[in-house]
């Protein structure tokens, strides 16, 4: 654990005057900062989102080319390497899964054997356990246990070590019960898999069931459903006609069973005849790639420094996070997300390079990989910092700064540094009349980008963002839609902020922000009650590691801490974030849940009283 004491020691709050005085002095002492150039900025966005960059997906050559482009720029600007391998800090990420050759399935009925063909009759889900699962079968309706709708396909059903066959989606009655047009989370295959595993099943086999007019009975494309590396049971899909042939022995039809459940709104579950045995052999390989953070350092007069960062990775040709699933396979160029922030870091590097050795503090330029996979690059850096973590006085993150509309900009983390509000106000005053932004600020420093990794280490953060749009995470996030003039003006403002931080008499003091409770999502009980942990996606430990625990949250009140690994939530085992989300969604506001965490190798129990989201 790096030394953080420099940042937790309270310092007296500064007044505005000495700060302005110090700022005036610094401007007098160092060379003036040139203005950001919209054309140069746009050129970099264009280069980073070009087809040769392949959407900068983890494991693509394109991501490597993007890293080379960034390295070349720092080299040209004579900004020193600050990685492990020159400018680079390599680390390994899981990029997905691959079906290997040894996948097989067959049904034994007495002496007859029926073989199934991979990708024709059945396909494993990428989160399936590998290995063998064989045994008797049970039909469990939709495979759903939904206490809130008094519906349980597993009621009075023994599935221990058996193979569960279940329909995809959910009973028609759920729509009116949830008061929601869309499907509830119970319809997700991952929810069904967790439910089957928690009921002791050995495998889950899902089947499409009733199709729309003219709709083809398609198998889910391998790798297209989000999930953990291994959900802890074998999970496959079979074609309707395969399931129907199994049901023949029971004298039932898949269609009739589904109609029966839908019309009555009640489960229909039963065991298949004992002489019917299904055997599944699953062979999945986790694919990994080495990716690189790109790091460069502009020294100042002390070894304190300010971090200016942005992630440069994106979704490649689209992965489970694509918001245009039908266009997976096409390059997702990520011009706004986050070629814009990356080009922003490069432009700031150009603007600030002449300040070498003149500022009170240094500037560490950071370009993260692995952000889209869960803030992995920033998590790697705070875990293995290439400069002393305790000397970082602030972190500025840019993620999507290319779509400024009506001069509106969002700045997060303003409450995490004692001087941030004044610095931001001063920076705005310093800008010319035609460069004024309508800035919307938020105090807290947690959100879904890399600055979160730094807040968790008690480093004050500022996060610049121009807002979401309909091209987000789609192949249509292209460079033509980038508002370069406004982005350049924003970079002038960020350069001003960076300079103030690099030259301030005193660094900002980290402040803990007790955030408003996060909002729940939609009418389907959203993400369940409020718990308050920040997951550490970089850890592949069994259980769910907390990067941090939000101050004032139910988890914090129960004494849970950053670094704890959650392994039990009430009666549910927790192996990964999907288990945790599922368990939380099955809980109610006001429930007192007994949880178990691993802390320094010891099991620690705590009672967490779940609260209402906003
Ligand atoms: Zn992003």
Cα angle 362-367-372, degrees, rounded to a multiple of 5: 145
**Distance (Å) from CA 339 to ligand 1 centroid:** 9
Looking at residue 248, what DSSP letter applies?
G
**Distance (Å) from CA 451 to ligand 1 centroid:** 11
**Distance (Å) from CA 479 to ligand 1 centroid:** 15
The answer to whether the beta carbons of residues 542 and 575 sit under 8 Å apart is yes
3-state helix, strand, coil in the chain (%, to 5): 30, 25, 45
**Distance (Å) from CA 463 to ligand 1 centroid:** 12
**Distance (Å) from CA 353 to ligand 1 centroid:** 25
Look up tokens 């992995």; give the residue: 376
pTM equals 0.81
**Distance (Å) from CA 308 to ligand 1 centroid:** 15
Task: Please give the torsion angle defined by the CA atoms of residues 272, 274, 275 and 276, in that order, rounded to the nearest 10 degrees.
Answer: 30
Give the model confidence (pLDDT) of 568-584 as tens digits.
999 999 999 999 999 99
Give the model confidence (pLDDT) of 244-302 as tens digits.
999 988 999 999 999 999 999 999 999 999 999 999 999 999 899 999 999 999 999 99
Whole-angstrom Cα distance, residue 576 to residue 565? 10
Closest CA to 450 of 395, 500, 489: 395
CB neighbourhood size of 212 (10 A): 6
**Distance (Å) from CA 38 to ligand 1 centroid:** 21
What are the residue ranges in the chain where pLDDT is below 70? 1-31, 517-526, 538-540
Strand ranges, E, within 118-246: 122-124, 131-140, 145-146, 151-152, 163-167, 203-207, 234-238
Task: Categorise residue 570: left if φ over 0, alpha if ψ from -120 to 50, beta otherwise.
Answer: left
Listed in sequence order, the residues at least 6 apart from 236 whose beta carbon sits closer than 8 Å to its beta carbon are 105, 122, 123, 124, 125, 128, 203, 204, 205, 206, 280, 282
pLDDT recorded at residue 30 = 59
**Distance (Å) from CA 473 to ligand 1 centroid:** 9
Whole-angstrom Cα distance, residue 164 to residue 173? 22
Chain-centre distance of CA 459, in angstroms?
21
Look up tokens 């310092």; give the residue: 11
CB neighbourhood size of 158 (10 A): 12
Whole-angstrom Cα distance, residue 364 to residue 350? 13
List CB-based neighbours of ion ligand 1 within 5 Å. Answer: 337-338, 399
Cα angle 292-84-90, degrees, rounded to a multiple of 5: 25
Please, what's the b/e burial string for 407-417 (b: 16 or more CB within 10 A of its CB; e: otherwise)?
eebbbbbbbbb
Residue 296, φ and ψ in degrees, nearest 5: -140, 145
Whole-angstrom Cα distance, residue 373 to residue 275? 45
CB neighbourhood size of 541 (10 A): 12
Listed in sequence order, the residues at least 6 apart from 315 whose beta carbon sits closer than 8 Å to its beta carbon are 55, 57, 321, 322, 332, 334, 372, 473
Please, what's the b/e burial string for 487-509 (b: 16 or more CB within 10 A of its CB; e: otherwise)?
bbbbbbbbbbbbbbbbbbeebbb
3-state secondary structure at position 86: coil
3-state secondary structure at position 309: strand
The answer to whether the beta carbons of residues 371 and 393 sit under 8 Å apart is no
**Distance (Å) from CA 334 to ligand 1 centroid:** 8
Look up tokens 């879904």; give the residue: 448
pLDDT recorded at residue 24 = 46
Whole-angstrom Cα distance, residue 388 to residue 405? 38
Chain-centre distance of CA 215, in angstroms?
33
């Amino acid at each position: 654990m790096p030394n953080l004491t420099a940042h937790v020691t309270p310092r007296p709050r500064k007044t505005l005057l000495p700060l302005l005085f110090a700022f005036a002095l610094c401007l007098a002492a160092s060379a003036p900062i040139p203005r950001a150039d919209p054309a140069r900025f746009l050129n970099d966005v264009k280069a980073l989102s070009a087809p040769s960059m392949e959407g900068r997906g983890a494991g693509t050559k394109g991501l490597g080319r993007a890293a080379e482009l960034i390295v070349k720029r720092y080299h040209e600007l004579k900004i020193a390497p600050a990685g492990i391998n020159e400018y680079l800090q390599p680390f390994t990420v899981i990029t997905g899964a691959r079906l290997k050759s040894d996948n097989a399935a067959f049904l034994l009925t007495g002496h007859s054997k029926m073989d199934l063909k991979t990708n024709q009759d059945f396909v494993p889900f990428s989160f399936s356990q590998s290995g063998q699962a064989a045994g008797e079968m049970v039909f469990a309706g939709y495979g759903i246990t939904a206490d809130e709708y008094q519906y349980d396909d597993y009621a009075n059903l023994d599935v221990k070590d058996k193979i569960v066959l279940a329909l995809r989606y959910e009973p028609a009655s759920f729509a009116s019960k949830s008061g929601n047009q869309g499907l509830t989370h119970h319809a997700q295959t991952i929810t069904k898999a967790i439910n089957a595993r928690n009921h002791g099943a050995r495998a889950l086999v899902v089947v499409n069931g009733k199709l729309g007019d003219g709709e083809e009975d398609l198998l889910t494309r391998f790798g297209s459903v989000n999930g953990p590396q291994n959900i802890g049971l074998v999970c496959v899909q079979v074609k309707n006609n395969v399931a129907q042939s199994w049901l023949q022995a029971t004298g039932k039809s898949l269609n009739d069973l589904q109609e029966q459940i839908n019309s009555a709104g009640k489960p229909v579950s039963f065991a298949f005849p004992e002489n019917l045995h299904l055997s599944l052999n699953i062979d999945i390989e986790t694919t990994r790639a080495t990716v690189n953070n790109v790091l460069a350092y502009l020294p100042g007069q002390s070894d304190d420094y300010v971090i200016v960062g942005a992630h440069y990775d994106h979704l490649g040709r689209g992965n489970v996070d694509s918001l245009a699933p039908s266009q997976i396979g096409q390059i997702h160029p990520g011009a706004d997300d986050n070629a814009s922030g990356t080009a922003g870091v490069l432009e700031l590097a150009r603007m600030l390079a002449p300040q070498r050795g003149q500022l009170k503090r240094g500037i560490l330029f950071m370009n993260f990989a692995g952000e889209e996979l869960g803030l992995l690059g920033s998590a790697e850096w705070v875990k293995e910092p290439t400069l002393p973590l305790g000397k970082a006085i602030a972190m500025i993150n840019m993620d999507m700064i290319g779509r400024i509309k009506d001069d509106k900009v969002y700045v997060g983390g303003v409450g995490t540094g004692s001087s941030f509000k004044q610095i931001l106000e001063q920076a705005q005053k310093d800008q010319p009349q035609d460069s004024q932004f309508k800035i919307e600020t938020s105090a807290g420093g947690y959100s879904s980008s890399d600055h979160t990794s730094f807040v968790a280490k008690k480093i004050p953060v500022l996060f610049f963002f121009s807002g979401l749009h309909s091209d987000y995470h789609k192949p249509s996030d292209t460079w033509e839609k980038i508002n370069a003039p406004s982005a350049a003006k924003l970079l002038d403002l960020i350069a001003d902020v960076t300079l103030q931080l690099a030259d301030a008499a005193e660094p900002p003091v980290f402040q803990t922000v007790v955030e408003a409770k996060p909002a729940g999502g939609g009418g389907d009980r959203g993400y369940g009650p409020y718990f308050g942990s920040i997951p550490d996606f970089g850890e592949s430990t069994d259980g769910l590691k907390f990067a941090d625990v939000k101050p004032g949250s139910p988890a914090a009140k129960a004494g849970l801490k950053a670094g704890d690994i959650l392994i039990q939530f009430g009666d549910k085992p927790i192996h990964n974030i999907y288990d945790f989300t599922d368990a939380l969604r099955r809980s109610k506001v006001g429930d007192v849940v007994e949880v178990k965490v691993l802390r320094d190798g010891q099991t620690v129990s705590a009672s967490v009283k779940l609260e209402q989201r906003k």
